[in-house]
Every structure is written in C-alpha cells, then in structure tokens.
Amino acid sequence: MPGVLIAFEGLDQSGKQTQAELLRDRLKEDGRKARLVSFPDYGTSIGEEIARALQGEREYGADVMQLLYVANRYERKPDLERWLDGGLILVCDRYRASS
C-alpha cells in the first residue's frame, strides 16, 4: 500500500511542528509507520545555504530564495519517494505551500 504525505502549513510560530509531532506520535501509537519531515531541511547542502540566508549571512532576492526552497525539496525527493513507496505516512512540517 502506498504511503501518504500530510503537510502542516501556516505562519511562523503557529504550532505546525508541535501538531506534526503529535500526529506522528499518535500514528506510531496506533501501530502505523510514520515519519516526521521538516522543510526547509537544514541538514542538506542547499538547506545549509537557506539557513545562512535566513540568518543574514547571505543576501538573496525573493526569486533566488524561492529556487533554493524548491531545490531543497527536490534534493529530498528520492527519500520521500522511497518512504512513500514503502508505505510510510510522512508528516511534514511545511511543504510546497510554504514556498
């Protein structure tokens, strides 16, 4: 059975991560295979560049930031596809609508 991707979107500090963690934990308690994924993913090379920009170490226009966010999701695409093909429920703290 293919997996499902559930995304929490919203303003900064609106509780997305908290709700995503609660859902992931509940799914696991119910015996479901679930994983929490956050975007931007600062653990990747593009994610590190996004972090530098958000911390003011780099200056990029909005168009370049948009491309970085898209590229960050793209570099995680193989993992997301593998997890979904494996039947995992992916609970995302932000996804496409946030960029």
Query: Which residue ranges form the domains of the chain, and what is each CATH number?
Result: 4-98 (3.40.50.300)
Q: For 66-97, how does the pLDDT look when each residue is reduced to its tens digit (9 = 90+)? A: 999 999 999 999 999 999 999 999 999 988 76
pTM (two decimals)? 0.83
pLDDT band at residue 99 using 50, 70 and 90 as cut-offs: low
Instruction: Give pLDDT, residue 70.
Output: 94
Q: For 34-77, how does the pLDDT look when each residue is reduced to its tens digit (9 = 90+)? A: 999 998 999 999 999 999 999 999 999 999 999 999 999 999 99
Residue 73 · residue 38 · CB < 8 Å: no
H or E segment to which residue 34 belongs:
strand 34-38
